C-alpha cells in the first residue's frame, strides 16, 4: 500500500485585522477575520498575499471550523485564488498562552491547527497548483497566521 509523502511548497504569512464577532446561537459562534496582506515564500511559490480576503470561523464545542479565501500575487505577476479550509482546536492552557501573546508552535501537544488549501489560476506556470491536493500546518506567529503548505504526492 502506498504511503503518502509530502513536498514543501511555501509558507504563507498572512496579516489579519481583529476578529469581527457575527454571532450565531447558543452552541455556535461565527466570526470573520479580515486579511490585510502578507507574504508567500518557498521553493515552489513566492509572492504576496493581497489584502481584501478573510477567514470565517464557526466555533462549536471547542473546535473552530475555518474557511479562508484570499488572493496571492506570485512574484511573476500571476494571481492565484486560495480557498483554505481547516480546523483549529486548543486546550484552555494553550489558548491562554496564545491570548497572552505567546507564539505556540504547530507541533505543541494540545494544539491542532490544520488546513487543506485549494488553489485556482489559469496562469500556465502555476496550473499545477490547481491540479493537486495540499496540506497546511498552521500556527499564529508574530501577529500573523502562518501556514506551511505541502503538496501531497
Quote the pLDDT of residue 148.
97
The pTM for the full model equals: 0.92
**CB-based contacts of 101: which residues, under 8 Å, 6+ apart?**
none
Residue-level pLDDT at 25 = 77
Ranges of beta strands (E only) in 91-133 are: 111-120
Taken in order 145, 21, 134, 130, is the CA torsion positive or negative?
Answer: negative
Q: What are the boundaries of each domain within the chain?
A: 6-152
Bridge partners (DSSP) of residue 111 are: 90
pLDDT for position 14: 97
pLDDT band at 26 (very low <50, low <70, confident <90, very high): confident
Helix (H) or strand (E) segment spanning residue 135 = strand 134-141
- Closest residue by Cα to residue 136 from 4, 2, 11: 11
User: What pLDDT, on a 0 to 100 scale, did the predictor assign at position 44?
Assistant: 98
User: Which CATH architecture best describes the domain 6-152?
Assistant: Beta Barrel (2.40)
Distance CA 70, CA 51 (A): 8
Per-residue pLDDT of 51-72, as tens digits, reads 999 999 999 988 999 999 999 9
Amino acid at each position: 500500500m502506498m504511503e503518502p509523502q509530502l513536498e514543501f511548497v511555501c509558507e504563507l504569512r498572512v496579516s489579519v485585522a481583529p476578529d469581527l464577532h457575527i454571532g450565531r446561537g447558543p452552541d455556535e459562534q461565527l466570526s470573520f477575520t479580515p486579511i490585510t496582506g502578507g507574504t508567500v515564500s518557498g521553493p515552489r511559490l513566492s509572492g504576496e498575499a493581497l489584502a481584501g480576503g478573510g477567514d470565517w470561523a464557526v466555533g462549536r464545542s471547542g473546535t473552530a471550523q475555518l474557511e479562508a479565501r484570499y488572493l496571492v500575487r506570485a512574484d511573476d505577476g500571476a494571481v492565484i485564488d486560495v480557498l483554505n479550509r481547516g480546523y483549529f482546536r486548543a486546550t484552555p492552557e494553550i489558548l491562554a498562552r496564545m491570548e497572552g501573546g505567546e507564539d505556540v508552535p504547530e507541533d505543541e501537544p494540545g494544539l491542532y491547527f490544520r488546513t487543506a488549501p485549494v488553489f485556482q489560476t489559469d496562469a500556465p506556470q502555476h496550473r499545477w497548483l490547481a491540479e493537486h491536493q495540499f496540506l497546511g500546518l498552521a500556527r499564529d506567529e508574530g501577529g500573523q497566521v502562518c501556514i506551511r503548505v505541502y503538496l501531497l504526492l
